[in-house]
Amino acid sequence: MLKVICRGCGGSFHEANEKSGSITVEGEHSAKIIDNPRVVKYDPEAVCNGAMLSLVEPYKSWGWTSFPNDASVIYDALDCPECGTPYPRS
């Protein structure tokens, strides 16, 4: 995994997703696998967004909150949960 290092405090609380996610939707007679828009593979050529990053352990299990894992959350809203410094654009 590609760790995101904070420019402010030097901590590493997020990592870039190596692959896109999927969701299994149970139907009446079968299950269907669809893309999960909240887990998107990190693309260094694109503007980074909340769907490309995931909070790492142990912070996730400790109940730390983070920015929403959503493609509409872009670089200016992606900040370090420890010190609040914005993450870089890409």
Task: Give the domain range for residue 33.
Answer: 2-77
Q: What DSSP element (H or E) covers 58?
A: none
With respect to residue 11, please indicate whether it lies within any of the assigned structural domains. yes
The answer on pLDDT for 89 being more than 70 is no
The number of folded domains in the chain is 1
Q: What gap in Å lies between CA 42 and CA 56, rounded to an integer? A: 15
With respect to residue 89, please indicate whether it lies within any of the assigned structural domains. no
Mean pLDDT to the nearest integer, 25-29: 79
Supply the pTM of this predicted model.
Answer: 0.73
pLDDT for the residue numbered 90: 56
Provide the strand spans (E) within the chain.
2-4, 14-16, 21-26, 31-36, 53-55
% of the chain surpassing 90 pLDDT: 16
